Amino acid sequence: MQEQHMQQMKGVLAEREGNSPHLKISPYQETEDIQDFIEAFEGIMKIQGVNRTNWILRLTPLLSGKARTVCTDLGTTTDYDGVKKAILEHYNINTERCRRKFRSHVWTRDQDPTDWIARGVKLVKRWLVPENGMEQVVNKIAVEQLLYGLPQEMRIWVTSQNPETPEKVGELIESYDTAHSCLPQRNRPKQDHGRSKEFPRKTEGSTGNKKERKSPSEITCYKCNRKGHIARNCTEKTLRAKENAEEVICWFLSSVEFRVD
């Protein structure tokens, strides 16, 4: 059935193109990046001035494996955008994947800087798609930063929902909060997920290994051996450093001869 469909497409292509020159495009290999191949194909089609309604007829014979199967299964010869979308979805190519590839684009010594930069520009355009307007570019950057600021478990779930706007991120946070009760609700006292901050009161006759807390006047600093504060709050070291600095300055001034012209 697939071969019959291919023969039919070749016949239609020959009738429509007549004596137009044959496009020399290397067939797609499974080891290639399918998105790179499709973009290169589209560039050649535009340069050659091929009508967009004929692109599928040009593309299908060049594909192989899963890509060709997806293309032929759709059974259309004119809806190129629909075929392209189906192929990219089959290879799990989406906004998040494009973003990750751009963020992980790192230069190495064996790469030509110009080629590396050109590749980076291509990757960021795949992610942000600037031709669709500035608003969606801003939304994508905002969504990325908002997701980065979420707790890990929440971020994983919200990201999996592929939010496209900051407003959608907010809705998903509320949905996650409601379902998992991981954040305090309004008008509800905050819950402490760590250790209890209350100390058990010691009753008469009870025994325990915990020492009673000393009053500030009984606390002794181990740095200066003075009472009333702990080592963390000790100012003795700071005062001594200041005194030493003043002594050094005085010595320096007394040992230098100043010239007066």
pLDDT in tens, 80-112: 999 999 999 999 999 889 999 999 999 999 999
pLDDT at 157 > cutoff 80: yes
33-49 pLDDT, tens digit each: 999 999 999 999 999 99
How many other C-beta atoms are found inside a 10 Å radius of the C-beta of residue 96?
16
Where are the domains positioned within the chain?
2-93, 94-128, 130-180, 216-252
Give every CB contact of residue 101 below 8 A, 6+ residues apart in sequence.
Answer: 123, 126, 127
Which amino acid does the sequence have at 156? Answer: I
Report the first-to-last Cα separation within the chain, whole angstroms.
104
Which amino acid does the sequence have at 204? Answer: E
What pTM was computed for the model?
0.56
Radius of gyration of the chain measured on its C-alpha atoms: 35
**DSSP reduced 3-state for 220:** strand
pLDDT higher for 68 or 234?
68
Query: Among 3-12, 49-58, 235-244, which is the least confidently predicted range?
Result: 3-12
**Mean pLDDT, the chain, as a whole number?**
76
pLDDT higher for 136 or 239?
136
Query: Among 4-18, 19-33, 41-55, 132-146, which is the least confidently predicted range?
Result: 4-18
In this prediction, residue 246 carries a pLDDT of 53
pLDDT at 138 > cutoff 60: yes
**DSSP reduced 3-state for 45:** helix
∠ CA 25-29-34 to the nearest 5 degrees?
85
Measured distance CA(186)–CA(200) in Å, rounded = 30
Query: Among 99-108, 124-133, 153-162, 205-214, which is the least confidently predicted range?
Result: 205-214
178-232 pLDDT, tens digit each: 887 744 555 443 444 444 444 445 555 545 455 455 555 666 665 566 777 665 5
In this prediction, residue 215 carries a pLDDT of 58
Question: How many Cα atoms within 13 Å fall on the side-chain side of residue 107?
Answer: 11
Measured distance CA(94)–CA(127) in Å, rounded = 8
Measured distance CA(214)–CA(156) in Å, rounded = 46
